[in-house]
């Protein structure tokens, strides 16, 4: 059976239109729906991950409460050793009491700076005060004093440390040093 050229062209044109329509339907309807399904699938997976995190947090709540309680206890213990009240007398008494176990002389204390905001951390709940001290001691004794001082008082820092040898003309041993340093201490909130 032979089809005329006109009929063949019409058949070809109809086939082309049907094929184009199917491709259009695919891109317009099916592909859009697949993208929507993919988006929903990824949102569902993200929501499932968030739900898992929330469930784990709920399960770990008692442990987190214990950690918070322990941290509050540690902070309270540290606050008990912080400067309070008359800062000048508190700091002098603290330094003199600590120095008793070391062969270090600390005869000079400057006036303590007024309470001020901390310079290291913004919006920190504690204030700080600075006291300058100077004295003498052997290299070994002063080193042990300084190391133990900063380890015993984690809320106190030594800054602006200056070490100089004491002249032998004053009758001092050769390993004797004079030191000057600033002690920056956190002040317990009122």
What are the beta bridge partners of residue 104?
A: 137
27-57 pLDDT tens trace: 887 888 888 899 999 999 999 999 999 999 8
Which has the higher per-residue pLDDT, 16 or 172?
A: 16
Q: What is the pLDDT of residue 31?
A: 82
Checking if the pLDDT of 190 tops 80, the result is no
168 band by pLDDT with thresholds 50, 70 and 90: low
Question: Do residues 90 and 84 make contact, with C-beta atoms less than 8 angstroms apart?
Answer: yes
Contact 126, 190 (CB under 8 A): no
Domain ranges of the chain: 5-59, 87-187
pLDDT at 181 exceeding the cut of 90: yes
Any residues with CB less than 8 A from the CB of 173 and at least 6 apart, and which?
A: 138
Question: Is the pLDDT score of 169 beyond 60?
Answer: no
CATH architecture of 87-187: 2-Layer Sandwich (3.30)
On the question of pLDDT at 6 being above 90, the answer is no
Q: What angle do CA 38, 51, 67 make, to 5 degrees?
A: 145
Cα(30)–Cα(15) distance, integer angstroms: 21
Residue 16 has pLDDT above 90, yes or no: no
Tell whether the model's pLDDT for residue 171 goes beyond 60. Answer: no
pLDDT tens-digit map of 100-117: 999 999 998 888 877 767
Mean pLDDT computed over 134-141: 91
Residues 180, 129: contact at Cβ < 8 Å?
no
Alpha-carbon separation of residue 181 from 5, 84, 99, 132, 144 (angstroms): 107, 21, 15, 6, 15
- Give the chain's mean pLDDT: 86
Please state, in angstroms and rounded to a whole number, the distance separating the CA atoms of residues 159 and 63: 38
Whole-number pLDDT of residue 133 = 93
- Please write the tens of the pLDDT for every residue from 59-107: 998 998 999 999 999 988 888 888 888 888 888 999 999 999 999 999 9
Separation CA 128–CA 185 (nearest Å): 5
């Amino acid at each position: 059976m032979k089809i005329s050229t006109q009929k063949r062209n019409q058949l070809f044109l109809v086939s082309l239109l049907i094929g184009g329509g199917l491709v259009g339907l695919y891109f317009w309807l099916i592909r859009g729906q697949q993208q929507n399904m993919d988006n929903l699938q990824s949102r569902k997976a993200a929501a499932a991950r968030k739900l898992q995190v929330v469930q784990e947090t709920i399960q770990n709540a008692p442990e987190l409460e214990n950690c918070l309680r322990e941290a509050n206890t540690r902070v309270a213990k540290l606050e008990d050793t912080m400067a309070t009240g008359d800062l000048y007398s508190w700091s002098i008494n603290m330094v003199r009491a600590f120095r008793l176990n070391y062969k270090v002389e600390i005869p000079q204390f400057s006036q303590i700076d007024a309470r001020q905001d901390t310079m290291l951390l913004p919006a920190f709940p504690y204030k700080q005060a600075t006291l300058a001290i100077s004295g003498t001691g052997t290299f070994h004794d002063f080193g042990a004093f300084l190391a133990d001082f900063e380890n015993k008082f984690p809320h106190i820092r030594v800054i602006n440390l200056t070490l100089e040898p004491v002249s032998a003309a004053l009758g001092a041993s050769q390993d004797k040093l004079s030191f000057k340093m600033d002690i920056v201490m956190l002040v317990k909130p009122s």
